[in-house]
């Protein structure tokens, strides 16, 4: 076995361990009884510790160095070697005892969050979140020292390789300069048109589930390599060739679960479309969370809130729930699904006000990592920001800082990727339509093949061969920017799209 082949074997084993952790994590959020939480935490800590031990073993470092010195690899193996080195640097910066401590703290915090969110009781979560933040800051400092980055950028790099605050801050500043005016103009225009008609429920959960499954199939989800379940917070997880997506149901609101399913299916298509030959290697992984979020948002926001798709969806809704009348016609449904209205819940936000939720969370988590915002002060700072950015008075912490699982699960540095993903989605969708002009008409028939085929070739099958900007430049002709997103919002909400 060559030195490079031995590295591939080592990283294939790591992929298997990470997949097992992914399934255990999925189970913890869907089916696991509450009494098993502590034991599950130990199981996950052991697996993550084992993966860390394999990745940081002296022979890993020695073999990496030997292969790098030899060189001469073809493009895909060379990119794989680069990703192996990147993974090694991240792992070697953090001692195993810190990895396992963080994993246990994360498991405890996630379980307490469920109870705290249910009871709108931030004080219950606070000590667990404070301990987890302490560990995340320690990890950020360790990785930052190894990477030459500040702690927040080091944590961000774990989710979005190469992304830095120096890139994010100008993009978010640009958004802040024009988005409030666009929101005001869109709301004024919609107010002049009058309120859309509400859909009359109830909407049985099983009917919603079957409709969601039908749309997943239309999108191209491979049910032999994935499944749909229920969780408190929708997500896409699982393992390679076993992609688990979840949603949550409300019998009084059909859109919440439906749009959640479409969003998570976008993630799942990326996972199922990764390059088969490299699926168990670092270069076969999704490039980063900004691109991952672009794939969920290109499905949910760009494609499935288009007038063309809504014209396809309208008769499906009428048939599924046995309804008829003006409220269930395409024009009214399109107005409902493109309604701009500030709300408390991030995952239910429209695409125009959604960035405000991310700007707030980005501001708060950078302050927490820097040590400038104490956990005890988080609810007040969150509520103040909601008032400033969205004009809302938060009535309780369930609708405030307890609504998301990200911080209780240790995901500091993740939030900005949602809005970065929205920018990328707009660029990619514009390029896809230019390459396949029939695409909008196909959406009106429920035919996602042109969009899926373009995304497979230009995003999914590229894995981590390219950097995010290099991939976007190849696919769209430009690095990540806000221009396409602005043009999209202006066309949909101020034009006739």
Q: Are 380 and 373 in contact (CB under 8 A)?
A: no
Residue 397's Cβ-count burial label (10 Å; 0-12, 13-18, 19+) is buried
Among candidates 301, 369, 316, which has minimal Cα distance to 208?
316
In 215-239, which positions are buried (b, 16+ CB within 10 angstroms) versus exposed (e)?
Answer: bbebbbbeeeebbbeebebbbbbbb
Dig out the tokens for 128 from the structure.
């667990």
Pairwise CA distance, residues 116 & 397, whole Å? 9
Q: Are 155 and 401 in contact (CB under 8 A)?
A: no
Pairwise CA distance, residues 29 & 110, whole Å? 9
Q: Is 264 a catalytic residue?
A: yes
Residue 413's Cβ-count burial label (10 Å; 0-12, 13-18, 19+) is buried
- Catalytic pick from 264, 271, 308, 351? 264
Q: Which residues lie closer than 8 Å to 424 by C-beta, 6 or more apart?
A: 290, 291, 293, 294, 468, 472, 480
Dig out the tokens for 88 from the structure.
């090694």
Pairwise CA distance, residues 285 & 459, whole Å? 11
Supply the DSSP symbol for 322.
T
**Which are the catalytic amino acids?**
264
């Amino acid at each position: 076995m060559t030195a490079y082949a031995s590295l591939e074997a080592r990283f294939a084993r790591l992929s298997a361990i990470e997949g097992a952790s992914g399934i255990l994590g999925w189970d913890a959020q869907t089916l696991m009884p509450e009494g098993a939480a502590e034991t599950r935490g130990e199981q996950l800590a052991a697996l993550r510790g084992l993966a860390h031990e394999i990745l940081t073993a002296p022979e890993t470092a020695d073999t990496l160095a030997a292969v790098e010195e030899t060189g001469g690899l073809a493009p895909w193996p060379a990119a794989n070697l680069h990703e192996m080195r990147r993974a090694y640097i991240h792992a070697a910066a953090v001692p195993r005892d810190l990895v396992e401590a963080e994993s246990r703290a994360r498991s405890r915090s996630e379980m307490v969050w469920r109870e705290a969110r249910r009871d709108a009781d931030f004080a219950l979560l606070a000590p667990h979140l404070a301990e987890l933040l302490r560990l995340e800051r320690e990890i950020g400092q360790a990785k930052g020292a190894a990477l030459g980055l500040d702690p927040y950028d080091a944590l961000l790099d774990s989710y979005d390789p190469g992304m830095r605050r120096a890139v994010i801050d100008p993009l978010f500043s640009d958004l802040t300069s024009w988005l409030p005016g666009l929101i005001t103009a869109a709301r004024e225009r919609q107010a002049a048109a009058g309120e859309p008609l509400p859909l009359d429920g109830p909407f049985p959960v099983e009917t919603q589930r079957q409709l969601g499954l039908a749309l997943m199939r239309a999108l191209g989800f491979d049910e032999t390599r994935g499944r749909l379940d229920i969780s408190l917070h929708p997500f896409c997880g699982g393992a390679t060739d076993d992609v688990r997506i979840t949603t949550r149901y409300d019998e009084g609101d059909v859109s919440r679960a439906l749009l959640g399913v479409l969003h998570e299916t976008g993630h799942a298509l990326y996972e199922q479309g990764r390059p088969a030959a490299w699926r168990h290697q670092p270069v076969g992984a999704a490039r980063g969370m900004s691109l991952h979020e672009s794939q969920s948002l290109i499905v949910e926001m760009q494609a499935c809130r288009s007038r063309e798709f809504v014209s396809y969806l309208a008769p499906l809704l009428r048939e599924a729930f046995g309804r008829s009348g003006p409220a269930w016609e395409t024009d009214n449904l399109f107005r409902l699904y493109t309604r701009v209205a500030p709300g408390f819940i991030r995952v239910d936000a429209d695409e125009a006000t959604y960035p405000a939720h991310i700007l707030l969370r980005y501001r708060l988590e950078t302050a927490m990592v820097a040590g400038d915002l104490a956990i005890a002060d988080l609810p007040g700072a969150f509520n103040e920001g909601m008032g400033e950015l969205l004009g809302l008075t938060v009535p309780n912490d369930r609708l405030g800082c307890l609504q998301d699982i990200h911080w209780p699960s240790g995901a500091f540095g993740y939030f900005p990727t949602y809005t970065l993903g929205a920018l990328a989605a707009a660029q990619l969708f514009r390029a896809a339509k230019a390459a396949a002009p029939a695409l909008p008409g196909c959406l009106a028939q429920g035919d996602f093949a042109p969009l899926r085929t373009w995304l497979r070739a230009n995003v999914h099958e590229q894995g981590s061969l390219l950097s995010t900007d290099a991939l976007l430049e190849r696919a769209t002709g430009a690095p990540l920017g806000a221009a396409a997103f602005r043009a999209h919002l202006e066309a949909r909400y101020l034009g006739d799209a």
